[in-house]
Structure 1
Amino acid sequence: MQTDPFMPKAPPHIPAELIVPFDFRGDKEYSNDPHKRLDSLRDHHRAFYTPFPRGMGGQGVWVFTRAEDIRAVLKDPQTFASGGLRPFAKAIGEDWTLIPVDLDPPIHSQFRTLLNPVFSPKSMKSMELVILERAEEMTTALTDQKEVDFVPVFARPYPVSIFLELLGLPLDGMEDFIEIEENILQNSGDAQIAAIRQLRDYLAGQIDDRRRNRGDDLISFAVHAEVAGRPLTDDEVMGICVMMFIGGLDTVTSTLGYHFLHLARHPEEQQRLRNHPSLIPGAVEELLRVYNVVTTGRRATRDVEIAGVRIRAGDLLALPTTLASRDPNECPHASEVDLDRESAGHSAFGFGPHRCIGSHLARRELTAALTAWTTRLPMFRLKEATIPRSSGSGVIALESLPLVFL
């Protein structure tokens, strides 16, 4: 199967029949329709190995395509570790760790216990009015427009501005922050390393400032927090701040893009939400189920067999959680949006101990966005002759989404 001289080589312990040359970064079908492309991979493989690297390490990955297997991996951090997969600090010669995503139990639990109250339903509910006002303010600014590119005009600045305020960072730095985040997550080589160093230097200055001038923001919280009865180390503070910065600047933006692409392509469903706003919270859950954007990674800590394949210690795994949500074995017509579907579960926020800590904030942002657009702006559709393109190996995102108001 490995006859292409440009295709990376798989390790010798991988059976040839399990090798599939799928490239998260360069597959054209994935760029055209990532969710459909991933579905097609599940149609033929329960699990396979691609020699194309997905992250910074340059190593190929096992890809799992069924909900039961994805859940089993994510719920077993002893066998499938999260730590060590994001060597951002190592790339610039430092030793901090992304917290809590790059920690595994039992130490992971200490930091989740520290951070959970900050992102709890109660804490996020207190932000509902601010979130809705931001969505209404931004949609009101579009009322005179005949067409917009949804990604740069709304999907990006709306959730990013909210999270920057939570971090206590200036909104006028938004474009620079987004560029840094995109270079870290979407780029490689010198550009990626330079962006990591740039982010580290910027946050170091913010951390020093919060030590002298404590504020009511997430960076101040990290600087002055304690875990297990002790203050956080400098590396722990940096790890939390980098993780919050990266985690807060992409997933909701990406999710909004696919939700609004769907509504632009399905005017009957868009009109139904306009006529019945009470359907919006349920619609958000159904759209999250169908258009999940995250592929998360794990590393095998021991030799193990799962999904009928032998995994060796040190092998990397890729788990497209959209495939768990869209698994037809668990949900009828799983790839279709059904606004009347009764509480079908989804994997948009993951499973197990690393389940997304920001899920309560994300739900409120998505609900407020759909509410504002369907009450304050006219019907919209995809601009003619537009073919939306996607990119991203960890978080897939639309590069643009031109919408026309009717």
Structure 2
Amino acid sequence: MATNPVPDHVPPEMVRDFSLFTSPGMPPTPNGDPHAAVACVHDGHPIFYSRYNTQDGRGTWVITRAADQRRVLQDAETFSSHRSIFSSILGENWPTIPLELDPPAHGVFRSLLSPLLSPKRVRVLEPAVREQAIMLIDRIVASGTSCDAMKDFAFPFAVSTFLRFLGLPDDRLDTFVGWGKDLLHGDDKERPVAARTIVAFIDELAAMRRQEAVDDFMTFIVQAQVEGRRLTDTQVRGIGVLVFVAGLDAVAAAIGFDLAYLARNLKDQQLLRSEPDRIPLATEELLRVYPPIQLIRVATKDIDFEGAPIRKGDYVSCATMIANRDPAEFECPNTIDLEREDNRHAAFGYGPHRCLGSHLARREIVIGLEEWLARIPAFRIKQGTAPITSGGHVFGIENLILDWS
């Protein structure tokens, strides 16, 4: 683990040797369970300082209690979202939009984009999403009695859905997935290359849509007006990059962790197979247990927060996977109960920045599980193989070989 210096204002007793990137179960680990590994943080101080807890090696305060995370995420005045995580990889400082905008600008752009991802719009997309799931699963069934669930199903299903939303063909799907993997899970050389490639792609797509409009997301963005003005090139890029990257990894990872759980827990698998009406409720519990995202905020001023001397410029981590294991929030938080009711999980965040794509993501996961369980016989992790899991800003899983022979 990196030994970054601890800022002078951080009390030594509040420093903890923990990182969502490098703690046990976090690095690429065979049969690792990074979500379970974070549960250990609830045994100590509710807020602590980690020397290394971001992709670029910065230290962060780690907020462990769900209620405290909600306070941070709802207070945009004290805890800013503008941290330019993507553009900083390129040595630049423009925000992804609306994720890294603070109010009031955030609300303006969120209002612009919300109708495109509303429950009504998602219902329109749903038949095509289901058709894609069925096509992929039927192809898997026709090819044998095992598959790499991430390569053969989770990634092509989730990413093709988002490409359809963006108005892009999926003939470059594998290329796009590769960019996402390098950006989110790559090393210091791979990340900048992936970031530059994605920016160039978004800029080129925007230029094409300005020249020739079609009925798609990017055309909407380049033609949109905010407060009577067309968006700047940087604003178009900020929106395009966020939406593109958001569709490349998180939903696929969620589906992968869900399938891995069901492969290891045949009783629950059979329950959902025999009573598919339970799948939407079960999906909420699986979102609670296996959320993929860490949220980062930057303090805009000095504040003593629940005993933590947070100072202006400090990074503050609100990891969904930590909030979702909070024993003050959930009874038996490390027990997976597919019938858990009133499941106020944090998988999509809290406050003004709550995930815009949550309606689409939730329906993708439900549809993916419904069609998988309807078409694939009882499945297990193939003997002699082990899924590889990883931590980070977005938790991941790969090499998920499922077998139903």
What range describes the TM-score normalised by the shorter chain of this pair?
over 0.9
Q: CA deviation at 1:325?
A: 2.0
Give the partner amino acid of 1:393. Answer: G
Contact 1:33 1:389 survives alignment (8 Å)? no
Q: What pairs up with 1:224-263 in 2 under 5 angstroms?
A: 224-263=223-262
> How far off its partner does 1:257 sit?
1.0
Worse overlay, 166-175 or 106-115: 166-175
Partners of 2:84 and 2:207 in 1: how far apart? 28
TM-score of the pair, normalised by structure 1 = 0.94
CA distance in 2, matches of 1:12, 1:260: 45
Provide the secondary structure at the position in 1 that maps to 2:304: strand
Q: Aligned pair count?
A: 400
State how far apart, in whole Å, the 2-side matches of 1:90 and 1:26 are: 22
Where does residue 161 of structure 1 map in the other structure?
160
CA 1:91–1:286 in 2, change beyond 3 Å: closer, same or farther?
closer
Q: Matched residues, percent identical?
A: 40
Structure 1 residue aligned with 2:134, among 116, 136, 146?
136
- Do the aligned partners of residues 93 and 389 (structure 1) sit closer, same or farther apart at CA in structure 2, a change above 3 Å counting? closer
Which residue is equivalent to 2:80? Answer: 81
Match of 2:289 in 1: 290
Deviations 1:272-324 (A, max 9, x none): 11111111111111111111111110111111122321101110011111222
The offset of 1:217, in angstroms, is: 1.2
Matches within 5 A, 1:62-211: 62-86=61-85, 88-92=86-90, 94=92, 96-144=94-142, 145-211=144-210
Aligned counterpart, 1:395? 394
Could you tell me which runs of 5 or more consecutive residues in structure 1 were left unpaired when the two chains were aligned. Answer: none
Q: Name the amino acid aligned to 1:12.
A: D
Indicate which of 5, 9, 12 corresponds to 1:9. 5
Alignment equivalent of 2:18, drawn from 16, 22, 28: 22
| DSSP-derived class of the 2:377 partner | coil
User: Residue in 2 aligned with 1:350?
Assistant: 349
Q: In 2, are the aligned partners of 1:95 and 1:235 still within 8 Å (CA)?
A: no
Provide the rounded CA distance (Å) in 1 between the counterparts of 2:163 and 2:238.
17
Matches of 2:310 and 2:94, distance apart in 1: 29
Matched, 1:59 2:58: yes
Measured in 1, the distance between the counterparts of 2:84 and 2:259 equals: 32
Which residue in 2 is equivalent to 1:273?
272
Structure 1 residue 91 displacement after superposition: 4.2
**Does the CA contact (< 8 Å) of 1:47 and 1:64 recur in 2?**
yes
Q: Go from structure 1 to structure 2 and tell me whether the alpha carbon gap of 1:43 and 1:94 turns closer, same or farther (over 3 Å shift).
A: closer
Per the alignment, residue 45 of structure 2 pairs with 45
1:38-95 CA-to-partner distances (Å, cap 9, x unmatched) read 1012222311111114133x42111111111111111111111110241x33543555
| Higher mean displacement: 29-38 or 134-143 | 29-38
* Structure 1 SS opposite 2:278: helix
The 8 Å contact of residues 85 and 298 in structure 1, kept in 2 or not, is answered as: no
Mapped partners of 2:387, 2:42: distance in 1: 23
The 2-side partners of 1:389 and 1:306 are apart by 37
**1:369 maps to which residue?**
368
Instruction: Give the whole-Å Cα distance in 1 for the aligned partners of 2:187 and 2:312.
Output: 26
Q: Deviations over 1:168-196 (max 9, x none)?
A: 22312112112222222223433222221
Q: Distance in 1 between matches of 2:298 and 2:375?
A: 46
SS in 1 for 2:263: helix
Aligned to 2:325: 326
Distance 1:212 1:310, change over 3 A: same
Contact 1:294 1:320 in 2 (8 A): yes
For residues 307 and 49 of structure 1, the distance between their equivalents in structure 2, rounded to whole angstroms, comes to 13
Equivalent residue of 1:244, what SS? helix
Q: Which residue of 1 aligns with 2:33?
A: 33
Secondary structure in structure 2 of the residue aligned to 1:318: strand
Q: Distance in 2 between matches of 1:326 and 1:384?
A: 30
TM-score by structure 2 length?
Answer: 0.95
C-alpha RMSD of matched pairs (Å): 1.6
Change (3 A) 1:171 1:278: same
Moved more, 100-109 or 168-177: 168-177
Paired residue secondary structure (1:30): coil
- Counterparts of 1:339 and 1:391 in 2: how far apart (Å)? 24
**Aligned partner of 1:34: which letter?**
P
Q: Distance in 1 between matches of 2:176 and 2:399?
A: 19
| Match of residue 316 from structure 2 | 317
**Kindly tell me: are residues 237 and 289 of structure 1, through their superposed partners in 2, closer, same or farther at Cα, counting changes over 3 Å?**
same
Letter aligned with residue 246 of structure 2: G
Secondary structure, counterpart of 1:103 in structure 2? coil
